[in-house]
């Protein structure tokens, strides 16, 4: 099983949830650009100030900022044996920049989680109640879904035969079993 894995899916599709489980199972770092950007916003760094204006309306943060952030993270020792990427690359330009910087096999397997739109909105509104994330309101969720369809879905064709499709509806444990099964094949 390769250890350079990308989770791709709509907002609320369970990428972060499944990527964390896989990172524990494989012992390679979980690299979530969403988490990294939220930390930058919370610390009010220069990157955070720039990212915040895009994130609060549900748009993607500019590619150059995100690509530089990921390259810096992957230069750390713990990523030498692999990584679980969550939310990056988010569009074809980021994927090309990543491949140019890290090599064409920098992603061995892409797991695509499928969840219908009604369930996504329900999950994210529930998270809004629990965690208070400012981008989990209905207008921003709709915008993030639109951005996903336009910018991120084309990555499924881009990664071609490296893609494994997984049904993202059900219990978290059941979905994780499906992910592990796909990676084992
Ligand atoms: P992300 O942090 O990636 O946010 P997300 O798409 O909502 O996914 P997340 O991982 O948090 O949620 P998950 O599906 O696991 O991005 C946030 C913003 O950051 C973007 O809009 C963008 O502005 C910016 N950004 C991030 N990466 C970028 C990049 N590369 N380029 C440019 N901009 C970037 O889970 C959602 C909820 O569902 C959770 O509450 C979870 O508990 C629940 N859930 C999970 N599995 C479930 C299940 N099986 N059943 C029921 N609920 C479940």
Note the pLDDT of residue 2. Answer: 65
Cα–Cα distance, 125 to 71 (Å, whole number): 32
> Which residue ranges of the chain lie beneath pLDDT 70?
1-2
Phi, psi of 76 (to 5 degrees): -75, 150
Q: How far is the CA of 136 from the centre of ligand 1 (A)?
A: 10
Q: What is the pTM of this model?
A: 0.94
- Please state, as a whole number, how many other Cβ atoms lie within 10 Å of the Cβ of residue 45: 12
C-alpha angle with apex 120: 132 to 153, nearest 5 degrees?
A: 115
Q: How far is the CA of 13 from the centre of ligand 1 (A)?
A: 7
Beta strands in the chain (DSSP E): 4-8, 30-32, 83-86, 109-114, 163-167
* Nearest alpha carbon to residue 163 among 29, 12, 6, 4: 6
The CATH code of the domain that includes 52 is 3.40.50.300
Number of structural domains found in the chain: 1
Q: Of the listed 4, 90, 123, 178, which one is catalytic? A: 90
Q: How far is the CA of 14 from the centre of ligand 1 (A)?
A: 7
Q: Whose CA is nearest to atom 44 of ligand 1?
A: 14
Cα–Cα distance, 9 to 95 (Å, whole number): 15
Cα–Cα distance, 1 to 185 (Å, whole number): 8
- The verdict on whether 38 is a catalytic residue reads no
Task: Find the domain containing 131 and state its range.
Answer: 4-184
Count of residues in the chain: 185
Phi, psi of 75 (to 5 degrees): -75, -10
Cα–Cα distance, 139 to 74 (Å, whole number): 34
β-sheet with 30-32: strand ranges across: 30-32, 83-86, 4-8, 109-114, 163-167
Cα–Cα distance, 55 to 77 (Å, whole number): 29
- Left (φ > 0), alpha (ψ -120 to 50) or beta: where does 148 sit? alpha
């Amino acid at each position: 099983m390769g250890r350079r894995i990308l989770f791709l899916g709509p907002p609320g599709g369970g990428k972060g949830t499944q990527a964390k489980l896989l990172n524990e199972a494989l012992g390679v770092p979980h690299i979530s650009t969403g988490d990294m950007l939220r930390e930058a916003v919370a610390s009010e760094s220069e990157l955070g100030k720039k990212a915040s204006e895009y994130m609060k309306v549900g748009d993607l943060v500019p590619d150059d900022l995100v690509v530089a952030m990921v390259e810096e993270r992957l230069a750390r020792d713990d990523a030498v044996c692999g990584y679980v990427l969550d939310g990056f690359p988010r569009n074809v330009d980021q994927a090309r920049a990543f491949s140019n910087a890290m090599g064409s096999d920098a992603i061995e397997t892409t797991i695509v989680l499928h969840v219908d739109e009604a369930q996504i909105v329900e999950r994210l509104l529930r998270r809004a109640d629990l965690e208070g994330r400012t981008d989990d309101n209905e207008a921003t969720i709709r915008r993030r879904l639109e951005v996903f369809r336009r910018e991120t879905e084309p990555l499924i064709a881009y990664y071609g035969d490296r893609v494994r499709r997984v049904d993202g509806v059900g219990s978290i444990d059941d979905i994780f079993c499906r992910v592990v099964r796909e990676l084992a094949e």
